[in-house]
Structures are given as C-alpha cells and as structure tokens.
Chain A
Amino acid sequence: MSHFKENLLRYQNLTRNIRDFFYARNVIEVVTPSLLSTPTTDVYIDSIEVSVNQALSKSSKFYLHTSPELEMKRMLSRGSGDIFQICQVFRDNEHGRINSNEFTMLEFYRVGFGMHQLIDEIKDLLVILGKDDPIKQMSYSEAFFEFANIDILNSSIEDLKKILNAHSLNSDYEWIEDMQTVLFVHLVEPKLKEYPVFFIYDFPKQQAALAQIDGLIAHRFEMYINGIEIANGYQEIQTSKEYRDRFETELGKRKFLSKSIGCVDEDFLNDLKDGLPACSGVAIGIDRLFNSLSL
C-alpha cells in the first residue's frame, strides 16, 4: 500500500477512534456554521474575512470561524448537554512550520465537569488513541518555579521587566500577560520538549480568556506533547455579563493595538441570557495530535 494511502487510513482510524470514544460516553456529535457574522474578539487571533453574494447584488461580509466555541456554547445554552465536533477552523496571520491558516480542531464540552475532570477525560482519550506515555502535570506557577525559578503569580509588571532585561529580552510590552507569555515561550516551553505529555493548568488570571477566575488564577489548562501545544481548555464562565465583559476587554486591547475590530456578538449574548450550564470545554489540534501519534 502506498505511504499516502496508509496515512489516509491512519487518519481515518484516529477520527473514528475519537468518535467512538465520545459516542460510547453519550456525547453528541454536532456541526455548527463556519461562516459567522462577527469576527473573533480574541486579541491575538485574527479571523479571515470573506465576501459573499456579490453577483446577487446583496454583497455581505462573513468571517470564517477561528474555533466553533461560541456556536457550540449557544447549543449548550439551549440544553444540548455534552457535545463534540471535529471541524476545520481558519486563522489569518498564522503560518509557519507548525501553524497553518486552516487546521482541524476537535472541540468538546462536558456538562457538570470541572477542569480536572476534563483533563482526566483527555488522558482517557489519549490511551484510546494509543498514546500511553507517562503524563506530567503541573500548575502554571509550579512550572515557572521548576523551570525558571520565577514566582510568576506574584510578579508585577516591573518585576517581569527586570527579569526580561536580565535575559536580554525585549521588555517593551503593554500588558503583563504578554510578558508572562514571552517568558513562558523563552524559558518554560523549551523544557517541555522532554515530556511526552504535559498538562499545565491554573493560568494567571490575566490569561483567563473565557475561563473562570479564582483569586490569582484562572481554571484554564493546556496540553503539550513533546513541547508542542496541542490543547487549550477552560472551566467555562457562565453568565452573559461575564462574556460581555471579557469580549469588551479584548476588543479594547485590539483597538489599542490598531488591529481590526468587530463588535460583541449580541446574538450569542442573547442566547446566553439564562446562562451556560456549569461545564468545561477544550479545543484539541487534530493535525498536531496526528503528527505526535505517528512519532
């Protein structure tokens, strides 16, 4: 059999195993729209804009989804219960050795799960997919102590500026989360290469994204396989007010950075007027996962 066909079959096995895993746990497979009327508000993710219906003289603009997150949360708010989806997502200005403008994402939500329960379920999934390597797990703050000897949660912007300068890195950042991230990329991430699977959880609250905040930390986690970021998940915030606040903060930052800005997705907030059920959700990059399984 040709190498190409072998790969197609291996990929089919991967998605089949993922689907079987969720079907067995009564998680419903869903499909949500890829064409959205508003671009993402994420500060560092750019939506790809598309124009449609020009020949019909009813030209309008859409944005390819950068993740199916909000559309799936609309389903959750309408009582879907546990759901998963495997789909293509699109991001502008992401192109490199391990980044692509289009990639495949597995996204799933588990109602009633806390962050650690969701991490445990991902571990079960990895075993089903044949990845039974030892797993390491550390909080973001522990990882910074362990690999860089930095107290990241209690470091101010001034503290981090000094640390960046000591490593002769640029310290010209607007927000503390960007300084945390550059230190993570420079000092911590290269060390994660030695670990087959590494979960890092409880990010600093400034990097909460859409995760619940608890004191200095947010219940957000990421999974790395040999130093490559594969998954990003949250114990989700639930009220439309919290979503509005997070979106508006993000839009403010995009505006400050002179990036294109859309608006808050009012339809989404409207669907969430009774809130999202308590749940945790995660996005897993399937292309990177597939590559890591073939090693």
Chain B
Amino acid sequence: MNYSTSQFKNGLKLMLDGNPCSIVNNEIVKPGKGQAFNRVKFKDLITGKTLEKTFKSGESLEAADVMELEMQYLYTDGEKWYFMDPNSFDQFDLSKESMGSALNYLVEQDTCIVTLWNNNPISVSPPNHVTLEVIDTDPGLKGDTAGTGGKPATLNTGVVVQVPLFVAIGDRIKVDTRTNEYTGRA
C-alpha cells in the first residue's frame, strides 16, 4: 500500500530508505512561481533520529506495517527485555539497544507502548509519568520542605534523578520520563 503526498499527515508511518518512519511534520511548500512540494520531517522509528525530506506533490511512499500496542513488561535476563501483549498473551523481546531510555523507567508488571514493525518489536515507550522508589540518596537537611535545593537520588531502575532535599531512601516519587525530572512524591 502506498500513500501519496496529499494523504500525508502527522503520525503516518511510511518506509523511507528502508526504514520505518513516522511523519512528525508535513509542510506544503508552494514557491510563488514554482511547483508545489511537501517538506516532511520524519522520525526514524529504528534509530530515533529526525530527518527532513522534500517530495514532489503527488509522489507516493510505501506504507510501513507499524503497530503500537500496549504491553506489559515482564522481566529481563540482562540481555533481553521481555514483554507480553495482554490480549493475545504473545511475548516479545527487545535488545538493550532497542530499549533506549525506556530502560530507566520500567519496572516489572508496568504497562508501556511497544512499537512493532512487520510484527517485530523495534522500540518501547514508557508512560509519560512513572512512580519509582528511591534506593539511594544523601540524607537531606532537616526541616527543608520547600525544596529550595536539590540532590541526586538513585531509583530502583538504576536511573539518577535530581530530587528535593527532603526526599529520603524508601520514598516513592513520580518522574516525568520525557524530561527525567522529579514531579512529586507518590
């Protein structure tokens, strides 16, 4: 199946130079006197890189067989990370490389979005906000509840996040996975 430039829209998944890509931005460029083009920003779903390309109006690209499914993170054996589709009970595994920054935020039983290309998992997105446990941090100053300062804290996934001084070992905190920022106590 092919999509022509007139069907381009954000989020559409297409094949570009052999890789599945998602349209991030599609701009129609009509030079006053020249022919019309589409200037398209893509995100390569495998490398995560963004690229820009110009198409002649009317040109078409092959659709990428990409699905985004909600799955449950099961466990890791250190080499692979295992996920399950709760509807079909099908299991999928991803390499450390494909896990990307999702490694930092997923704990067993968490729900996340796994992207499949031709039914093979290529990437995983954690929820925007996750709740994690502080396993190591310096003791904070007593009485500091305003969060004026900050200190690093290591969470149960191994990721390090800046937290206010009052946060202590054993606390459960909320983290924004897009910015790696502390957003509050859970």
Residues of A at the B interface (CB closer than 8 Å) are 42-45, 93-97, 99, 168-170, 172-173, 177-178, 181-182, 184-186, 189-190, 207, 209, 222, 229, 232, 283
Nearest neighbor of B51 in chain A, beta-carbon distance? A168
Let me know if A44 and B33 touch, CB within 8 A: yes
CB < 8 Å: which of A93, A97, A170, A229 contacts B31?
Answer: A229
Q: List 13 A-B contacts (CB under 8 A).
A: A42-B33, A44-B34, A96-B27, A96-B28, A97-B27, A99-B30, A168-B53, A169-B53, A169-B54, A170-B55, A170-B56, A173-B56, A185-B54
CB < 8 Å: which of B28, B33, B36, B53 contacts A209?
Answer: B33
CB < 8 Å: which of A93, A172, A178, A222 contacts B32?
Answer: A222
Let me know if B56 and A229 touch, CB within 8 A: no
Which range holds the interface residue count of chain B? 10 to 19
C-alpha spacing A45/B28, complex, angstroms: 15
Contact residues in B for A43 (Cβ distance below 8 Å) = 35
Let me know if B54 and A186 touch, CB within 8 A: yes
Let me know if A97 and B28 touch, CB within 8 A: yes
For B31, B33, B39, the residue with the greatest tally of chain A CB atoms inside 10 Å of its CB is B33
Residues of B at the A interface (CB closer than 8 Å) are 17, 27-37, 39, 52-56, 59
Given contact pairs A96-B28, A169-B53, a sample of 4 additional A-B residue pairs in the complex whose CB atoms are under 8 Å apart: A93-B36, A182-B54, A186-B37, A186-B39
Contact residues in B for A93 (Cβ distance below 8 Å) = 36
Contact residues in A for B32 (Cβ distance below 8 Å) = 222, 229, 232, 283
Let me know if A168 and B17 touch, CB within 8 A: yes
User: What are the 4 closest A-B residue pairs judged by CB atoms, nearest first?
Assistant: A96-B28, A181-B34, A186-B54, A232-B32
Contact residues in B for A170 (Cβ distance below 8 Å) = 55-56, 59
Contact residues in A for B37 (Cβ distance below 8 Å) = 181-182, 185-186
Let me know if B28 and A99 touch, CB within 8 A: yes
Contact residues in B for A42 (Cβ distance below 8 Å) = 33
Let me know if B29 and A189 touch, CB within 8 A: yes
Please give the distance in Å from B148's CB to the nearest CB on chain A. Answer: 37
C-alpha spacing A97/B27, complex, angstroms: 7
Let me know if B56 and A182 touch, CB within 8 A: yes
C-alpha spacing A229/B29, complex, angstroms: 10
C-alpha spacing A97/B35, complex, angstroms: 17
Nearest neighbor of B16 in chain A, beta-carbon distance? A168
C-alpha spacing A182/B52, complex, angstroms: 13
Contact residues in B for A168 (Cβ distance below 8 Å) = 17, 53
C-alpha spacing A190/B54, complex, angstroms: 11
C-alpha spacing A222/B34, complex, angstroms: 12
Contact residues in A for B39 (Cβ distance below 8 Å) = 185-186, 190
For A96, A172, A207, A232, the residue with the greatest tally of chain B CB atoms inside 10 Å of its CB is A96
C-alpha spacing A99/B37, complex, angstroms: 12
C-alpha spacing A96/B30, complex, angstroms: 9
C-alpha spacing A143/B25, complex, angstroms: 26
C-alpha spacing A182/B34, complex, angstroms: 9
C-alpha spacing A121/B137, complex, angstroms: 66
C-alpha spacing A170/B27, complex, angstroms: 17
Contact residues in B for A172 (Cβ distance below 8 Å) = 56
Please give the distance in Å from B58's CB to the nearest CB on chain A. Answer: 10
Please give the distance in Å from A246's CB to the nearest CB on chain B. Answer: 12
C-alpha spacing A283/B31, complex, angstroms: 13
Contact residues in A for B36 (Cβ distance below 8 Å) = 44, 93-94
Contact residues in A for B59 (Cβ distance below 8 Å) = 170
Contact residues in A for B35 (Cβ distance below 8 Å) = 43-44, 178, 181
Let me know if A181 and B28 touch, CB within 8 A: no
C-alpha spacing A161/B9, complex, angstroms: 28
C-alpha spacing A190/B34, complex, angstroms: 16
Nearest neighbor of A45 in chain B, beta-carbon distance? B33
C-alpha spacing A173/B37, complex, angstroms: 12
C-alpha spacing A3/B37, complex, angstroms: 34
Please give the distance in Å from A9's CB to the nearest CB on chain B. Answer: 29
C-alpha spacing A229/B32, complex, angstroms: 8
Please give the distance in Å from B53's CB to the nearest CB on chain A. Answer: 7
Please give the distance in Å from B15's CB to the nearest CB on chain A. Answer: 13
C-alpha spacing A94/B36, complex, angstroms: 9
Please give the distance in Å from A17's CB to the nearest CB on chain B. Answer: 24
Contact residues in A for B30 (Cβ distance below 8 Å) = 44, 94, 96, 99
Let me know if A181 and B27 touch, CB within 8 A: no
Contact residues in B for A99 (Cβ distance below 8 Å) = 28, 30
Please give the distance in Å from A189's CB to the nearest CB on chain B. Answer: 7
Let me know if A181 and B31 touch, CB within 8 A: yes
